[in-house]
């Protein structure tokens, strides 16, 4: 009997990280009204004077394979997108969505399986969006959900695409319980010539006082 209980506990510990890999609850509606924000930098006015970029990866806007892009689309913003839009408002930064070529499944179970496969293969998913003028940005905020205890592999693709030498990177994540520490370490490893400052973890249920939390983090009174 004790052996059976031990085996069940072992399996629970083993499976938990993978079951929660895509569990950002990105399909939950945000708990506050979204602010207006600039569009992606490659589509924005090239005369913009902002030297702050707010880049983020979010799963909420993806349409399942085989679904009509219009009827299958959703107006609900994911949690990471909600935070990124608020951050762009506070900093005056340019908002940029990191979009992979591959649509991740809406199903958390299926998405978790793909996230695990990409993690184990140290994959670099191809992206469909690109920053055309990265050299003009001095500070880059990078947001993402925590998948499998770290950043999604699409974030690594993004980081390896550009030269961040001399730039300041400030990561933020949405997560039920996992800290941003491992993701922050990975970002610093991928961008050794950048200054990677302490990141911010935000609950997957974006709190109503998100503006205050972000203001404290970025040093706005």
Domain locations in the chain? 2-218
37 CB neighbour count, 10 Å cutoff: 16
| pLDDT value of residue 81 | 95
| pLDDT value of residue 43 | 44
Separation of alpha carbons 20 and 18, rounded Å: 5
Q: Model pTM greater than 0.85?
A: no
Separation of alpha carbons 77 and 28, rounded Å: 8
Separation of alpha carbons 197 and 20, rounded Å: 26
Asked whether residue 66 carries a pLDDT value surpassing 60, the answer given is no
Matching residue, tokens 């004790």: 2
Range in 54-68, 71-85, 106-120, 130-144 the model is least confident about? 54-68
pLDDT tens, residue by residue, 149-188:
999 999 999 999 999 999 999 999 999 899 999 999 999 9
What is the total residue count of the chain?
221
Separation of alpha carbons 176 and 89, rounded Å: 25
pLDDT tens, residue by residue, 100-140:
999 888 888 898 899 999 999 999 999 999 999 999 999 99
CATH number of 2-218: 3.40.50.360
pLDDT tens, residue by residue, 192-212:
999 999 999 998 788 889 999
Q: Where are the beta strands (DSSP E) in 73-190?
A: 94-97, 139-145, 168-175
Pairing of strands 94-97, 52-56: parallel
Separation of alpha carbons 18 and 41, rounded Å: 34
Separation of alpha carbons 217 and 111, rounded Å: 31
Confidence of residue 3 (pLDDT cuts 50, 70, 90): low
On the 0-12 / 13-18 / 19+ scale of CB atoms within 10 A, 121 is exposed
Q: Which two tokens stand for residue 115?
A: 């996230």
2 CB neighbour count, 10 Å cutoff: 6
Q: Quick check: helix, strand or coil at residue 180? A: coil
| pLDDT value of residue 29 | 36
Separation of alpha carbons 120 and 101, rounded Å: 19
């Amino acid at each position: 009997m004790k052996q059976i209980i031990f085996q069940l506990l072992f399996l629970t510990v083993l499976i938990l990280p993978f079951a929660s890999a895509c569990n950002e609850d990105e399909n939950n509606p945000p708990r506050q009204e979204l602010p207006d924000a600039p569009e992606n930098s490659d589509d924005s006015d090239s005369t913009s004077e902002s030297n702050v970029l707010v880049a983020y990866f979010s799963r909420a806007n993806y349409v399942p394979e085989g679904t009509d892009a219009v009827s299958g689309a959703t107006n609900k913003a994911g949690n990471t997108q909600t935070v990124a839009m608020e951050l762009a408002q506070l900093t005056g930064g340019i908002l940029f969505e990191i979009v992979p070529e591959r649509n991740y499944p809406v199903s958390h179970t299926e998405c978790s399986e793909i996230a695990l496969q990409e993690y184990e293969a140290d994959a670099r998913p191809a992206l469909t969006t690109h920053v055309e003028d990265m050299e003009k940005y001095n500070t880059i905020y990078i947001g993402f959900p925590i998948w499998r205890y770290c950043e999604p592999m699409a974030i690594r693709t993004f980081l390896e695409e550009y030269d961040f030498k001399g730039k300041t990177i400030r990561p933020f994540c949405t997560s039920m319980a996992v800290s941003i520490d491992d993701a922050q370490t990975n970002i610093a490893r991928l961008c050794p010539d950048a200054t990677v400052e302490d990141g911010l973890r935000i609950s997957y249920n974006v709190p109503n006082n998100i503006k205050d939390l972000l203001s404290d983090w970025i040093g706005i009174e």
